[in-house]
Amino acid sequence: MAEPGRGWRLAAPVLVLLAAILAWQALVTWRELPVWLVPSPAVVARTLVADRVLLLDSLGVTLGIALAALALAVVLGVATALLFVQSRWLEMSLFPYAVLLQVTPIVAIAPLVIIWVRDTRLALVLCATVVAIFPVIANTTLGLRSVDPGLLDLFRLSRASRWQQLWRLRAPSALPWFFGGLRIASGLALIGAVVAEFVAGTGGAGAGLAYQILLAGIQLNVPRLFAALVLITLAGVAMFAAVAWVSRIALRRWHESELERA
């Protein structure tokens, strides 16, 4: 089978989306589904426009929390990974706790964090960070260890210092792995932000999209619920695309995963 052309990379998923929307609209019209059960795409679109001020404000809040959490996860995760590769002892002693962070459901610890941290926004960022940090730690640690043994010998023969070995050899080798972790973390940060908002249930001026969904659900304002859902999804896709783009810029000249095919 021939490789699909470049244009199809974007066109194929868009076509699927259009088909799904059409099918959805057709189903709602044909079965005469009530708007409080399944609103049609047209109604959702109208709601998006009508409630845009409210929804975009909330999107800004949620996105801000997710991005702050992602940034914090990168800083703390990379720092932890750097510590881990400095000493096997450190890694052996602490890695199980990183796993613990990963396997503990955020909904279970979010109430505690929200009680302990007075600033709600900060509490939400911390919760989302806890969710997003593990892939950054795990992937970066693996990457920092996945070094060409020949190059490692070369550095040893040249009497490179630990520092030189870290910055000139381990860090560049780890870059593709780090970006792999970052892609996963970008999605998790958003999920973490939404889940934490659900638990916190903060309304008022600082209300995020999760709160709008919660409220719309209670009020049976299903079109707005759908509209908020669409925005969250779009935000997640945008974050993923941004990370993928940065990864492409950083790696496309040399790494197999991003090489442009001739």
178: contact with other proteins by CB under 8 A: no
Cα of first residue to Cα of last residue in the chain, in angstroms, is 18
Selected binder of other proteins within 41, 64, 172, 206 (CB under 8 A): 172
Contact 230, 212 (CB under 8 A): no
121: contact with other proteins by CB under 8 A: no
262: contact with other proteins by CB under 8 A: no
Which has the closest alpha carbon to 81: 150, 180, 153?
A: 180
Selected binder of other proteins within 145, 168, 183, 248 (CB under 8 A): 168
Contact 218, 198 (CB under 8 A): no
CB of 209 to other proteins, least distance (A): 39
In terms of CB distance, is 87 or 164 closer to other proteins? 164
Radius of gyration, alpha carbons of the chain: 22
In terms of CB distance, is 82 or 152 closer to other proteins? 152
Selected binder of other proteins within 6, 9, 118, 253 (CB under 8 A): 253
Kindly determine how many residues on this chain lie close enough to bind other proteins according to the rule CB under 8 A: 20
CA distances from residue 134 to 74, 131, 205, 257 in whole angstroms, order as listed: 10, 7, 31, 22
261: contact with other proteins by CB under 8 A: no
257: contact with other proteins by CB under 8 A: no
| Structure tokens that stand for 232 in this block | 């969250």
Sign (positive/negative) of CA torsion 213, 215, 219, 221? Answer: negative
Which has the closest alpha carbon to 178: 66, 239, 257, 94?
A: 257
Residues 129-158, one symbol each (x = binds other proteins by CB under 8 A, - = not), give -------------------x-xx-xxxxxx
**Interface positions with other proteins (CB under 8 A):** 148, 150-151, 153-160, 164, 168-169, 172, 175, 253-255, 259
